Amino acid sequence: MNGKVTGKIKTVLIFVLCLLPAVCSFAVSVRPPHSRAEWRPENEHPLAMHIHMVHLREFDLRQGKAIAKYEFHNAGKKPILIKNIKPSCGCIRVRMRGQGKAIQPEEQGEFYLEVDTTGESSGRHEYQVRIDYVQVGDEKKPLSENVLYRVEVPQKKITVRPNALIFYQLSSQETSQTIRLTDFRPGSSFHITNIQVDSEYLRAGEAVATKDQHGHLQYSIPVTAQATVPDGKHTGSIIIDTDDREFPQIRIPVLIFGPKQQVDAPKLPENGAN
């Protein structure tokens, strides 16, 4: 008798265990959906970033800068005022047009983060940036938003800044600019053996070797556009020869704009003349 009872109990337990997943699934299906009222737009931060992270893997190292663009809009019902954009590193320069001007509801805006990579080692660099702002009329409640900026700095060799020269010779005075060649390769050095000027309106001075603020070898070469340049656009180049096997010759393009021709105004007849 006891054996029969025990067998029935085992049968019931097995049946319950098999039925349990179905019961749980049914309970979940009939449960009211989880309320997301706490994520309604009116409860979100008014400053709505279109992107919270920029990851730059490639950029023009000849300029020595990595620039990222962040776009946003005002998702609130009141104008907002951005008080400060504070990066975690002093190597980042912030550029934003109209900073200090109220941003109206639904109005869009943008700012740029610029990293000077000349002093940064190769590899990944990560920067936190905090945007402090307030709603107009509610300035006692400061708000903030955070974005992330990642930059992959590849191995740097020799950089040329600027990588092109543009002269506007609109007056009768000479104009000068300086080309800087910086060698970032550890334990490496090179010498400039010759400088050629491919333009009759330019001249280049002697290359001067110094160290930049980070201890890298740097050559400075002054380039001058002559005072008198014909009207129109003129092209040329600066050709730098070196004893470096990897960079035996470096060419910098040059663009020169001469003054426009002045058209003399016709002389008016004197009073009484026919």
Q: Mean pLDDT of all residues in the chain?
A: 81
How large is the average pLDDT for residues 221-250?
A: 93
pLDDT the model gives residue 210: 95
- Residue 178 has a pLDDT of 97
Per the model's pLDDT, the better-predicted residue between 34 and 73 turns out to be: 73
Cα 232 to Cα 36, 177, 199, 226, 255, distances in angstroms: 65, 20, 14, 15, 11
Radius of gyration of the chain measured on its C-alpha atoms: 34
User: Is residue 21 scored above 70 in pLDDT?
Assistant: no
pLDDT of residue 10: 57
pLDDT tier at 185, thresholds 50, 70, 90: confident
The answer to whether residues 109 and 69 touch, using CB atoms and an 8 Å cutoff, is no
Q: What is the pLDDT of residues 254-270, one digit of tens each?
A: 999 998 744 444 554 44
Cα separation, 48 vs 70, in Å, equals 11
Q: Which residue has the higher pLDDT, 134 or 4?
A: 134
Q: What is the pTM of this model?
A: 0.49
Write down the pLDDT at residue 15: 56
Confidence tier at 34 by pLDDT (50, 70, 90): very low
Question: What is the Cα–Cα distance from 30 to 25, expressed in whole angstroms?
Answer: 9
- Mean pLDDT for 102-125 is 86
Instruction: Give residue 11's pLDDT band: very low, low, confident or very high (50, 70, 90).
Output: low
Q: Are 129 and 150 in contact (CB under 8 A)?
A: no
Q: What is the mean pLDDT of residues 244-254?
A: 92
Complete domains list, the chain, with CATH: 41-153 (2.60.40.10), 158-258 (2.60.40.10)
pLDDT digits (tens, 9 = 90+) for 70-111: 999 999 999 999 999 999 988 889 999 887 899 999 999 999
* pLDDT confidence tier of residue 3, bands split at 50, 70 and 90: low
Residue 19: the pLDDT is 57
In 3D space, the residue among 89, 40, 45 whose CA is nearest the CA of residue 66 turns out to be 89
- The 10s digit of each residue's pLDDT in 133-147 is 999 988 889 999 999
Pairing between β-strand 249-258 and β-strand 192-197 as defined by DSSP bridges:
unpaired
Residues in the chain: 274
Distance CA 54, CA 50 (A): 11
Do 130 and 86 form a contact (C-beta atoms < 8 A)?
Answer: yes
With a CB cutoff of 8 Å and minimum separation 6, the contacts of 79 are 102, 103, 104, 105, 135, 136
pLDDT for 45 equals: 80
Q: Quote the CA–CA distance of 20 and 24 in Å, as a whole number.
A: 6
Instruction: Give me the pLDDT at residue 35, please.
Output: 37
